């Protein structure tokens, strides 16, 4: 049997203080990848947390330029090792090398790291606020302890705990990161951490600024996120595991940002269906089955109004779901969970239109699945019928009328997104207004005439939303600079001597930092008072 | 026996669906004020929450100008009823009418309301972010349900649940408020709510935009903050009661902003003591005994380094504490709790230097109290010796040397403030740098050569800090516009038709709103793409 891979603690790759081990699998081949990874003990977690706390203090003295260089060197190193990383990610996740991993996700990952570097250099994410009258100045700064990042299974690169969006944001804010690899792709995470480690040395950053653990049991994980020396946690993953961590972090008063579950309602109004039902059926099918539906913004529920146009739409979608190829799922676990979720929706009263059984594709897979339920049935079991079925499945809800559609919107939990399709003329406008006055509060991102998959990296993006989509509706996980401020604290300086202020708050602007000076956003220096 | 006062639910003053009653007391006279107030039942809470949810939807259609007018009309009405409000607040809290209530706190309260009105009109608090390339636009907006505000006992006007900082911020963000009066000053809260209610009608706002309950039992309070129709909660008060609410809100995924406890370390370095020890002793005594020490930013712990200059400082402060008049405490409860806290500090090893017993002033009171403990003892019991003693009491910690002082800083929990006094020449600089590199992460506001009491209303203020000072280190309870964003969600609009966008996100700037357009802060319109 292969030896268990080492963990990365305090700058050293070393054998784990082993509390067990696990063997990742190739979901397409349905067999182990051949590597063995360790489960970390409580002692190891303590060591990592303490090393991160020391690194946090050291990072306070590291100029932004060096942190920016680290992020850029890291991006370049990922590109240099591209083939090996893509190979490993493909073996561990079953995601296609091209275009997905090599041409979409890897460039997105390095692009995010470079955007974070730019933000570090530019410093405007700190929102410096200067009140010259009172002598009070404030800005966002690092948390003073490690940020723990739990990466999800569905983006082995772009949301990876040691290279993804949370990682980039936490480092950009000036924090060390303790990565907790997703157990389904530890090898990919190891390769990325190796490059991060080398980039740290090259840029002269503290060696404990990036650490990596592969797995812990629940109790050790709870200790990790609630440790007094930890700054905050970023978690993307299953609702069940996330809530265990949330409870622990909340009890300790430690911020935890979670992306838990979202069914991303898509409302298609009658005018839109009459006008371009077939086109929308195509868009919906493509969005729902993309990557075997394994996206947090997958359209998991479609709201229609009773009528001939909706029936025609349902028939069209059925055919498309039957005809579309079935993708490979990320793991046996995802397949099992999808089976259970679809069965749960049926038990709650949803009728199976298409699919509903395991298999149909290469390796781990599940037939493309479409379910249907009436609006009244949905309203009788709103909680059960809103359970996320992560994968290539969606539930069509057909409301009796506009009033019932509004009630259904009101019964929705928090979601990352909500999309509405309406006619190009104004015939759907009254209903659009009525439903969005409700939906607007339920979703982080409201879309028009567009499916929710595809989360653009934009400073205006909100990849967040009310619980249970996330743990707090005021933060986004995608979109620099806002995503950086999740891993920051507000620091105020009152009567602090000018030479002791952080550079961002001194009279002289340290670069082209946007600062709110006496109510005006400006990149200028603060002028001496006359 | 007097009849129980009515509650304010859905625009009506009506008898409570009574689950009991309570009688507030005058702490200076140590006798009941003569009024009786109701405890609200679960049913009443449900009614308030549902009315608030309806009001939240209605508020979406109310122009900012009307919300601003409401806040201004309310401020004017408070001023018109000034004498009666001040009289009642004095009777319920024992705080002096002049200067405190009439000349300081009331103007601060109406000033905050007017600042909030200005922010509503100006709209820049929403941080509109426009990405013209991707068609994605986002901003902060209301939460879509009522905001529950629990006011503290120590600011009957400026932090009152229906007129204080949280109230103003929640309304400014566009949310209805359900005020939970502090049980020690229900009469003051009632008078304020009466004026709020009239101002709502005058400004044409939904009648349920302000509601008032006086008291609930713990279970009903937990239901209130965790209700699915609630947007968020603001709480200022005791750590114990706050943690019960926090647990309930956290479990439900509902944001809760808490101000729980803070001992506000003041570090006085040897050079500063040699240079101006007597002056600092005066400042410290005044700050610690102001308002009988009943401030969240009261200097509850002073860190000194062993040496002759520190001993001289201690002797000076002892004399000043003995000579200073003893203030009236807010209630029997505050007196009892202060007795217990001081006893707890002594049990943990602190030596009593001055005071330590109930009495000494008019009505509810406790002798001005000074305790002392060695650095090593402090480090042996850091948790017990950091218990907040709310009132006119402080603990002097004398460290052996610089290393121990650094260890003590490291052992501190999160605080609202941390102050350092250093010599005017640079002799304390090395130690200042060493200690602030630790303290900076532990406090929301770092002060130089200044006591922490007196929280200026400034856009750069941070009245917040790491747990247990608050529940999240990224937010401030004082300082418009940042304080408003606590009660807001990030709302993103992706491909939304221009005429459907909120005015703040349309190409044409609806006024002089500061917006981040393609990375540049500007008040200009977005120009059509060429």
Nearest to A268 by CA among A227, A229, A316, A225: A316
B259 among known catalytic residues? yes
pLDDT tens per residue across span B485-513? 999 999 999 999 999 999 999 999 999 99
Q: Please, which pLDDT band fits residue B530 given cuts at 50, 70 and 90?
A: low
* Segment B305-354, tens digit of pLDDT: 999 999 999 999 999 999 999 999 999 999 999 999 999 999 999 999 99
- Asked if the Cβ–Cβ distance from B134 to A252 is below 8 Å, we say no
Interface touch B495/A130, C-beta < 8 Å: no
- How far apart are the C-alpha atoms of A142 and A145, rounded to whole Å? 8
Q: How far is CA A259 from CA A466, B77, B105, in A?
A: 10, 45, 42
Other beta carbons within 10 Å of A2: 12
Residue-level pLDDT at B529: 73
- Subunit contact B444:A137, Cβ cutoff 8 A: no
Tell me if ipTM is over 0.95: yes
Q: Cα distance from A350 to chain B (closest Cα, Å)?
A: 25
Residue B458 has its nearest CB partner, among A131, A140, A450, at A131
Contact (CB<8Å) A492/B60: no
Closest CA to A337 of A393, A281, A276, A401: A393
Cα–Cα distance, A387 to B163 (Å, whole number)? 41
Q: How far is A388 from chain B (nearest CA, A)?
A: 17
- B165-172 helix and B64-80 helix, angle to the nearest 10 degrees: 160
Reading the block at residue B417, the tokens are 């403030």
Give me the half-sphere count of Cα atoms (radius 13 Å) on the Cβ side of residue A427.
11
Q: What is the mean pLDDT of residues A129-154?
A: 97
Question: For residue B528, what pLDDT band results from cuts at 50, 70 and 90?
Answer: confident
Give A393→chain B minimum CA distance, Å.
24
Q: How many CB atoms lie within 10 A of CB A290?
A: 18
Q: Is residue A1 scored above 60 in pLDDT?
A: no
Q: Which residues of A touch B145 (CB under 8 A)?
A: 441
Integer CA distances (angstroms), A245 to A226, A249, A325, B251, in order = 8, 6, 37, 12
Query: Closest Cα to residue B116, out of B158, B171, B66?
Result: B171
**CB pair distance less than 8 Å for A496 and B130:** no
Terminal C-alpha separation, chain A: 76
Q: How many C-beta atoms lie closer than 10 Å to residue B24's C-beta?
A: 25
- Which pLDDT band, with edges at 50, 70 and 90, does B19 fall under? confident
Radius of gyration from C-alpha coordinates of chain A: 24
Which DSSP helix (H) or strand (E) runs through A34? none
Give one DSSP letter per residue of A426-477, joined into a string.
STTHHHHHHHHHHHTTTEEEEEESS-S------TT-----TTTTBS-TT--S
Mutate to test the interface with B, among A57, A111, A133, A253 (most CBs of B within 10 A): A253
Question: Chain A partners of B131 at a C-beta cutoff of 8 Å?
Answer: 458-461
Residue with tokens 């005439």: A449
Q: pLDDT tens digit string along B217-264?
A: 999 999 999 999 999 999 999 999 999 999 999 999 999 999 999 999
Shortest Cα–Cα distance, B435 to chain A (Å): 11
Terminal-residue alpha carbon distance, chain B: 76
Q: How far is CA A96 from the centre of its chain?
A: 20
pLDDT at B17: 83
**Which residues of chain A have a CB within 8 Å of the CB of B134?**
456, 458, 460-461
**Closest partner residue to B460 among A144, A255, A492, by Cβ?**
A492
Given the residues A90, A296, A364, A409, the one annotated as active site: A296
The model's pTM: 0.97
What is the mean pLDDT of the segment spanning A217-225? 96
- Burial grade of B416 (CB within 10 A; 0-12, 13-18, 19 or more): buried
Left, alpha or beta for A104 (phi > 0: left; psi -120 to 50: alpha)? alpha
The beta-carbon neighbor of A495 closest among B450, B468, B494 is B450
**Cβ of A134 and B445 within 8 Å?**
no
pLDDT of residue A427: 96
Q: Find the mean pLDDT for residues A199-203.
A: 98
Cα Rg of chain B (Å, integer): 24
Give chain A positions within 8 Å (CB) of B516: 459
Q: Which residues of A touch B60 (CB under 8 A)?
A: 437, 440
List the one residue out of A507, A141, A492, A53 whose CA is nearest residue B419.
Answer: A492
Tell which of A175, A492, A516 to mutate to test the B interface (max B CBs under 10 Å). Answer: A492
Q: Do A134 and B475 touch (CB under 8 A)?
A: no
**How remote is the C-alpha of A71 from its chain's centroid?**
19
> Distance, in angstroms, between A396 CA and closest chain B CA?
23
Give the DSSP letter of residue B466. T
- Chain A with chain B: Cβ pairs closer than 8 A: 205
The Cα–Cα gap between A161 and A168 comes to 9
CA distance B257 to chain A (A): 11
Q: Quick check: B446 and A253 CB within 8 A?
A: no
* Two tokens, residue B111: 């000033």
Is there a contact between A500 and B134 if contact means CB atoms under 8 Å apart? no
Q: Where are the beta strands (DSSP E) in B41-165?
A: 129-131, 136-141, 146-150
Which residues in chain B have their CB less than 8 angstroms from residue A489's CB?
441, 444, 465-466, 473-474
* Annotation marks residue A296 as catalytic: yes
Looking at residue A19, its pLDDT comes to: 81
Q: What is the DSSP letter of A354?
A: E
CB contacts, 8 Å: B466 with chain A: 253, 489
d(C-alpha B126, C-alpha B140), whole Å: 5
> What is the per-residue pLDDT for A528?
81
Q: Which chain B residue's Cα is nearest to A251?
A: B247
User: In chain B, pLDDT over 90 holds for what percent of residues?
Assistant: 98
Q: What is each CA distance from A190 to A79, A197, A485, in whole angstroms?
A: 15, 10, 27
Residue A451 CB partners (closer than 8 Å, separation 6+): A266, A283, A284, A286, A287, A299, A419
Percent helix, strand, coil in chain A, to 5, is 40, 20, 35
Phi then psi dihedrals of residue B258, to 5 deg: -125, 140
What's residue A529's pLDDT?
73
Tokens found for residue A485 = 């401020």
Average pLDDT over residues B137-161: 97
Q: Quick: pLDDT tens for A473-482.
A: 999 999 999 9
B444 to A475: CB separation less than 8 angstroms, yes or no: no
Asked, as a colleague might, if the bond just before B99 is cis with ω within 30 of 0, I would say yes
| A252–B247 C-beta distance less than 8 A | no
Task: Give the largest CA-CA distance in chain A.
Answer: 77
- A530, pLDDT greater than 70: no
Distance from CA of A487 to the nearest CA of B (A): 9
Kindly report, residue by residue over A368-413, the tens digit of the pLDDT: 999 999 999 999 999 999 999 999 999 999 999 999 999 999 999 9
Q: Looking at chain A, which residue has its C-alpha nearest residue B243?
A: A251
CA distance A259 to A234: 8
Yes or no: say if A291 and A154 are a contact pair by the CB < 8 Å rule. yes
Check CB contact under 8 Å for A474 and B488: yes
pLDDT > 90 in chain A, percent: 98
The pLDDT of residue A17: 83
Which residue of chain B has the CA closest to A467?
B253
Q: What integer best gives the mean pLDDT of chain A?
A: 97
Report, as an integer, the average pLDDT of A237-243: 95
Residue A333 has pLDDT above 90, yes or no: yes
Does residue B1 have a pLDDT over 90? no
Q: Would the CB atoms of B492 and A255 count as touching at under 8 Å?
A: no
Class of residue B486 by CB neighbours under 10 A (exposed 0-12, middle 13-18, buried 19+): buried
Q: Examine the pLDDT at A187 and tell me if it is beyond 90.
A: yes
């Amino acid at each position: 049997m292969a030896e268990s891979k080492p963990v990365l603690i305090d700058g050293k790759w070393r054998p784990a203080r082993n509390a067990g081990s696990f063997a990742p699998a190739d979901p397409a081949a349905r067999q182990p990848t051949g590597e063995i990874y360790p489960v970390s003990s409580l002692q190891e977690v303590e060591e990592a947390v303490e090393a991160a706390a020391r690194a946090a203090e050291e990072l306070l003295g590291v100029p932004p330029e060096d942190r920016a260089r680290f992020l850029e060197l890291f991006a370049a190193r990922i590109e240099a090792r591209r083939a090996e990383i893509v190979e490993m990610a493909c073996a561990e996740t079953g995601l296609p090398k091209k275009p997905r991993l090599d041409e979409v996700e890897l460039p997105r990952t390095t692009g995010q790291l470079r955007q974070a570097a730019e933000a570090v250099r530019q410093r405007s994410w700190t929102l410096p606020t200067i009140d010259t009258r009172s002598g009070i100045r404030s800005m966002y700064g690092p948390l003073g302890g490690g940020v723990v990042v739990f990466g999800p299974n569905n983006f082995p690169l772009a949301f990876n705990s040691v290279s993804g969006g949370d990682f980039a944001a936490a480092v950009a804010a000036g924090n060390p990161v303790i990565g907790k690899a997703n157990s389904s792709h530890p090898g990919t995470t190891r390769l990325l951490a190796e490059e991060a480690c080398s980039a740290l040395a090259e840029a002269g950053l503290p060696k404990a600024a990036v650490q990596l653990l592969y797995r812990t049991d629940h109790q050790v994980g709870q200790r990790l996120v609630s440790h007094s020396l930890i700054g905050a946690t970023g978690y993307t993953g299953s609702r069940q595991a996330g809530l265990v961590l949330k409870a622990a972090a909340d009890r300790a008063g430690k911020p935890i940002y979670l992306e838990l579950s979202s069914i991303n309602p898509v409302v298609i109004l009658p005018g839109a269906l009459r006008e371009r039902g077939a086109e929308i059926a195509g868009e919906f099918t493509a969005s729902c089955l993309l990557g075997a539906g394994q996206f947090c913004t997958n359209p998991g529920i479609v709201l229609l109004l009773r009528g001939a146009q909706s029936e025609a739409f349902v028939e069209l979608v059925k055919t498309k779901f039957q005809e579309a190829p079935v993708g490979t799922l990320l793991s046996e676990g995802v397949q099992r969970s999808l089976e259970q979720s679809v069965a749960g929706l049926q038990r709650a009263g949803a009728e199976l239109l298409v699919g509903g059984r395991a298999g149909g594709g290469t390796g781990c897979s599940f037939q493309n699945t479409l379910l249907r339920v009436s609006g009244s049935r949905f309203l009788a079991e709103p909680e059960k019928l809103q359970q996320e079925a992560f994968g290539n499945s969606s539930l069509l809800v057909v409301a009796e009328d506009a009033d019932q559609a509004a009630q259904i919107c009101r019964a929705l939990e928090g979601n990352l997104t909500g999309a509405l399709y309406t006619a190009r003329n104004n015939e759907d406008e009254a209903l659009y207004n009525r439903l969005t006055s409700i939906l607007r509060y339920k979703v982080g991102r409201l879309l028009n005439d567009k499916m929710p998959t595809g989360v653009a990296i934009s400073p205006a993006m909100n990849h967040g939303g009310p619980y249970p989509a996330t743990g707090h509706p005021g933060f986004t996980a995608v979109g620099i600079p806002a995503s950086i401020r999740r891993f920051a604290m507000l620091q105020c300086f009152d009567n602090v001597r000018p030479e002791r202020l952080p550079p961002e708050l001194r009279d002289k602007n340290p670069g082209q930092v946007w600062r709110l000076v006496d109510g005006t956003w400006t990149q200028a220096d603060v002028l001496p008072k006359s």
